[in-house]
Structure 1
Amino acid sequence: MTTDLSAGTVPPLYREVFDVCSHNGEPVHRDVYQCLLSQCNLNTTQLKVIWDLAGPSQGLITRTNLYKTLALVAWAQQGKTLSEKLFETASGKEYPTPSIGDLTPVKNLVLKLNLKANPAVLGLTYTEITQLDTISVELVPEKKGLFLKYSEYLVASRRFNSKVTRRYNDFLALQELLLSRFPYRLVPRLPPKKIVSDAHFLESRRRGLHRWLTLVCRHPTICHDALVAFFLTDHGPDIQHRIRDIFRRAPDEFMTSDLAATAKNLLPADHGEIASSREQIRSLVQVIGKLKLLAENAVERQNSYARDSEDFAAQLKILSASSIGQVFGSQWGSMQKGFTAISRNKMAAVNKAQIMAAMECPVCYDILRPPIHPCNQGHPICGDCRQQMERLSQNVCCPLCRSGYSLPPSHILEAIYNSLRVSCKFNSGGCRHVCWGKDMKIHEQKCKFGPRTCPRRNVGCMWIGPLTMLAKHCIENHCPSVNLN
């Protein structure tokens, strides 16, 4: 087909679909092209005509081929007779927008084909890895069991659109089978088991299970195995025994893989490179493990300090209520008032610290500032942080549970923010202003420590900095007579 697309205007959807079908702007694979057409709800005759008009006779599908295909799909959905003349009549107009179904199968196929292209190289960006699946693991409030109580977890998968209930032993069975099925891959370790457990341990293990299952379900190879799909979708009872019965005879991946015969060719010629990489990975794991331990110790010290402060205030309250005035005489009444005041101040500080900890943004680790957006699971982030995440990625997901953001801003959390004494968000730049949350927005709009753009931005100067440095920048880089108002 020789017709070009210069006659009309290309809708934004065309570019979005190409970004989905292409890997890093490369031409689209023919299998991906066919998968896309299968999502357009057209009959076989129409698809054949579209293929003849827009698809190349051989090779990959270019951007132009795909754009023509989308235009033809839209016209076919409108009931028009497909031909090259439709492009000529679209002169000066925007090409029609087709109705396309779920593109998840297309995305998964792109990732799978890209991985097969070179198994020795990952070839996936972080965004593409996160698109493989989104997992949530939540603790079921009520424990099960008549005599020996045990905890259950509600496991949800975005890829399979499923929710199942699992015990810790079910995770253990899955890990054992993964180690047998993938003996040459890095299968992460599960968090430890504990017979007598408290709420703190259960929450810590829940987070560990969530991290573990997320790593498994985002592994470019392991995530496509039937074993993982069974674990995430089966609703039958006694999963830990049934999954072992079904998959324990499954051979390891290289017994059935086409790569087995050529696996040696994927190894680098210099074996010293393998040893060097092994040492670097070992060093990296040790450093990350040490950082994790230090962070956990810091959190534990903060929690211990909070418990001690709360106990300190409680003991002072008991002391203030004691009737031992005959021992200390007339001074005891004044001392009781002092104990009561200190106890109240301590408790107020503890309560404020708890509120401030609950109001911490998981992205910037500062206090949540309006508009406060909760994810679909209820974890909130700042409005500014969400805007930054949206600039970096089209698919914004929660940093804690990887779910999306479709809920409106939380007015309850914003009311809590308005009732707190908070610092200016430009305090790192030198501002020391503190006021009620409801008045902070007015201050931050005028704060001299906030970011300002250069007055010569219209001629290409991209400088951004605090107001206190603007005059110095203009004098050093532009004419001193630049208007700073």
Structure 2
Amino acid sequence: MNTVEEPTDAMTASFSAAPYEVSDPWGATTARGLNPMDLSNILSGMPLPAIYTTAFDLARPEGGKISVSALNKILSVSGLPPSTVDKILNIVVPPTRSRITKGECSVTLALVAMAQKNMDLSIENLTAHREDLPIPHLPGLESIDFGSTSESALYSASPAIPRHAHPVHVGSTVSDPWRSSTYSTLKGSGGYPPAPSYLASPPMTSAELPQSADPEATRKEMYQWFLNLDTIRISFAPEKEGIFLFKHVNYIVESKNRQTTVVRRYSDFWWMLEVLSKRFPFRILPNLPPKRLGVADEAFLERRLRGLTRFMNALVRHPVLRSDPLVVSFLTEPVELALWRKDVVISTDDEFTTRLPISESLAKQVPMTLDLELESVKKRLPSSIEYYRNMVNVLDRIQKRAEANAADYTRFSLSMSALADCERKCHIEDCYNCGQLSQGYGKISAHFNKTANLVEDQARATQTGMVESLKRHRDLLVSVKELLQRRDQSREGNVAEMLKKRIANNETKLKALRASAATAAAAAASANSASGDSTAAGIYDAQIEKVVNNIHSDRAELRVQEQRAVLMQHTLWMEITYYHKSHAQIATMYQTFVHEQMKTSQSLFDNWKSLSPIVHDMPMEVNGFN
């Protein structure tokens, strides 16, 4: 009897939950129930030929797994008949599974090699020959098209910007596109923040919007502006580094606009965020994917890779953070960041230190209703975050069901192709209609296989497009929530209140000291001391001078704190404005998703439409089967 797992509630999963931990799309029997043997470990530890790794890597694994449709494309170049391919898939891949691990892929290729040598196809026979397995022959493997929808496709081309040197002065003032014209800014600060693509980028400020009078020209200019935004692409480095038990993964970080490629560790991302959090406490700081204790599996590493990609693209989209010298250095310094850090002095002073003094008109720019607006946003954020988490989980389940559909279309195609071979010859030698049916089976099989490819491309487009876009906006909401929490926990206002109380106490003390000094001076004058001793008056003078100096110092510090308070309010206003304007990307996100759905639906319609005359031409007269 097949075992049935308890259904999990994907709607309550956290936003950092593994995309591969969503409950089974069919909510039915588990793969373990149908296939109790763990095939992924049969060839574990065996020295396998390079073609095993090459085939798996070409199939574009995600989370350490490849789809059944991708596996079928590999098997299609093996030269084996459809019935044999179908038998191999049935041995390795349970009907409820739409993806397989690298170990299971290796077992599949080993069975292919055995079939090519006319060996008996069974797990028992494979286990017996695991020491002397033949090498699979897969001509044309590298020419297989495993689909066009991927993150590399989203890494769309735009006019290349020549590589040039980036002067870096870490800890210096950063240019802020939102600052008033009275501010001092760095030269060549550039425009509005880059973004990962025109499909997921914040809108421009009013000063940067295209100014053409023609609405059509304005739309074209805005479209081109989106295309020219930067994109950060992150991928795994080919080799791990470190000693035997302490190897770590390196990441290749590519900037499209800067035309730079650097290698970074996860700890480098973590260190950069720590420094940025000290320098920009009141900015929207993106979140890093969590650390992991112990051995990280491939699914975890894939989730971390996507999280790091979202993190870096959020940084280069931000109007201020994108121009920070530390971020620029992170993207451009070719040497190891740990070595680079030894040669530079990293400033952790907050950004307000470099922006004082401020213009008197700056406070007038902040709306009087800012605190009310911030409280309104603060109240809505928890619910919005939870809704986005649910939407991510639901759409991820939809994507996995589409992937499972693609796998089933592939299985149906293989079975039908095998059926065409099986029934090619009728028991009646001169039967014409059975031959026609067999040809029809082959054509139907080809159309089902095309359907599988279309549905799988759609599932992949949903994962890399809509699901990632939803996660980007969810991450933005979480970052805004954390910003408002830092604002509530800030002691900036407490310092000013403490200074005011201390100044008031010192002024009271000063009045008392001056009164006492006057009384002592009067008493000394009336006594008409012959020695002219003024010791008491001198003591009062020293105390008065000390209190006066404290008052002046505290008043100067209070002015600084008041200016910092204005800067904090202005920064919060700019950040909440940036957050608000970022909602403009939501429309583009859904427009792109709907366009992809329409495109897939049209392709599916065309595929079924082209199959219609074929099935109508298949023989259906009873008298034809005499």
What band does the TM-score fall into relative to the shorter chain? 0.3 to 0.5
Q: Say which structure, 1 or 2, has more relative contact order (CA 8 Å, 6+ apart).
A: 2
TM-score (norm 1): 0.40
Structure richer in helix, relative to its length = 2
